[in-house]
Structure formats: C-alpha cells, structure tokens
Amino acid sequence: MRNPPNERPKLRLKHPSAAEERVKAAMPTRPAKPDKDGPERKCVLTGGKTDRAALIRLVLSPEGEVLPDVRAKAPGRGAWIGVDRDALQRALDSGKLKSALFRAFRRRDLTVAADLADQIEKQLERAALDRLGLEARAGTIVTGGERIDAAARTGKAALLLHAADAGEDGNRKLDQALRVGNDAEGSDLKGLVIAAPRTILSSALGRENVVHVAVTDQGAARRVGEALSRWHRFIGFGSGERPCETRPQGSIAAAASPDAAATAANEGLTTVHE
C-alpha cells in the first residue's frame, strides 16, 4: 500500500552487526587535544618533566606542613619530585627542597619534617603491599611452589616475584618454569626479587610462609608492577638485594593481623606476554 502524499515512510533502524562493530572499533579516532592537566609533571628539584606515575606528589596540610601524597588523591595544589631517597635527603639537609617548595606552593610559612623521606618510603611500601592484596582478593594471585610452577610452565604467570630472603635454588627453579612457559629457554627472563622478606609478604597476604608469588592476569601484573617499581626506585633497591626487615616493613607486619591482613598486601614486577 502506498503512503499518502504528505506522509513520510517509516524507516527501520538497522543495528550494526558484530563484524561491523569490530571494524568501527578498529578505525582510528581523532587525536585528543593535549591536556594541560594531563599525566606529565615537572620535578621541583631537577626541573625535568616526566609521567606523574614516576613522580611523588607533596601537598600542604592546613597548618602548612609538607606531607607525601603518593597516591595523588589529596585535594589542592601539589608539588612533584622525581628523585630517589638519598637525593631527597640531601636536598632536605641542604635546604634546597624547602626553597623549591617555597616557589612551588607560593608561600613561605611551610614546614618540612626531617623524616619526610621515611614518610614517603612507608607510603610507597604500603601502596605496593595494598595493591597486591587487592589483586589477591580478586583471585589473580597464585602462591605455593607447585602451583606457581604449574602456572608458569603453562604460560599463565604474567608476573613472578620472589621474597627478598627466598632461596636461590627455589628462585632458579621457578625462573626456569617461567622461561619454559614463555618459550624463552636460554634467555635471562626471570622473576623479580622484591624488597620485602617472606614474613612481610606472608603478613601482607594473610597467608603462611609466602616465599614466591605469581600473578595470572595481565592487568593485575601491570598495576602491581608499577607500584613496586615506584617503591624500589625511591629506595634504590635492585633485584637480588636482601634487605633486613626495615622499620616501615616491621610496622606493616605488626598491623597485618589475621583481620587486618585482609586489607594489606604486597607486589611485584616482571610482566610477560605484553
């Protein structure tokens, strides 16, 4: 039946097929305009610019005290630093840090605690431990030598880490399993020794005698890897070192009772299959 002269025919909407959706998703989009508030920040000590994920944010309390904000969540103006602990301590002792913060915050009635480096280290460690704990509760963490070995050999270990006091034989065995699972035999691919001994790792995860950990999800591996990298970079820790249980670690272990351990955690690096 023909439509009346002044009546438009009704159009049927055609829903895109799954194949069309995939093509659309693969098409390039217009580049976003540069964001002046984007991820890149300037270190107030060196003047260098880099991604904010590699920097540490400092903020002011209402009383004018300089405090670390390693998660970059606090409101208000912030100042960013990108140096390690030793360099920060030198800048603090020489007065260079305070002068830089005068300029960054545009006020002179501020105070910088002598233990600022300790505060930052403790926050970075807590952030790393918390991140691994969150991933553990999400079900992407594997512990136990046999389970890790099986996951690594089948290519399911996106991240492998060893406690600072793990035995070299155990490390070598799991490192070899990691290489097998990634078709990388003969390479130097291996797990990462982290700056936490087994007591801290166990308390953080709320499990007993955790010496090795594997993460089986790529996203989780990336997140914990970033948090661990920030911590290690600040304290100057290199894989293979064996630190004692530092004061920040000891306080975390004490807080990680069976109840509190559910909110704590640990973290690592060495992502593969990227």
Domain boundary (66, 91, 114) is at 114
Q: 200 and 140, same structural domain?
A: yes
Q: 187 and 84, same structural domain?
A: no
Q: 220 and 142, same structural domain?
A: yes
Q: 135 and 225, same structural domain?
A: yes
Pick from 216, 199, 217: nearest CA to 208: 199
Between residues 268 and 115, the one the model is more confident about: 115
Q: 244 and 163, same structural domain?
A: yes
Sheet holding 212-215, edge to edge: 141-143, 212-215, 159-162, 192-193
Segment 172-199 mean pLDDT:
96
With pLDDT > 90 as the criterion, what percentage of the chain qualifies? 65
Report the CATH number that the domain containing residue 65 is assigned in CATH: 3.30.1230.10
Report the CATH number that the domain containing residue 181 is assigned in CATH: 3.30.1330.30
Give whole-number Cα distances, 93 to 24, 45, 131, 241, in Å.
57, 13, 32, 27
145 touches 125 (CB < 8 A): no
pLDDT bucket at 5, cuts 50 / 70 / 90: low
- What is the tens place of the pLDDT at every residue in 112-133? 999 999 999 999 999 999 998 8
- The answer to whether residue 91 is domain-embedded is yes
Domain boundary (71, 96, 114) is at 114
Q: 255 and 125, same structural domain?
A: yes
Give the type of residue at 214: A
Q: 187 and 61, same structural domain?
A: no
- The answer to whether residue 229 is domain-embedded is yes
Q: 84 and 107, same structural domain?
A: yes
pLDDT bucket at 204, cuts 50 / 70 / 90: confident
Name 194's Cβ contacts closer than 8 Å, sequence gap at least 6: 161, 162, 163, 164, 201, 228, 232, 266, 267, 268, 269
- The answer to whether residue 3 is domain-embedded is no
Query: pTM value?
Result: 0.74
Could you tell me the residue range of the domain that residue 74 belongs to?
40-114
The 3-state DSSP class for residue 212 equals: strand
Q: How far apart are CA 274 and CA 272, in angstroms?
A: 5
Q: 252 and 122, same structural domain?
A: yes
- The answer to whether residue 202 is domain-embedded is yes
- The answer to whether residue 270 is domain-embedded is no
- The answer to whether residue 268 is domain-embedded is no
Q: 245 and 136, same structural domain?
A: yes
Domain boundary (86, 114, 142) is at 114
Radius of gyration of the chain (CA): 25
Q: 129 and 189, same structural domain?
A: yes
- The answer to whether residue 16 is domain-embedded is no
Q: 227 and 140, same structural domain?
A: yes
- The answer to whether residue 7 is domain-embedded is no
- What is the tens place of the pLDDT at every residue in 235-250? 999 855 544 344 344 3
Total number of domains in the chain: 2
pLDDT bucket at 151, cuts 50 / 70 / 90: very high
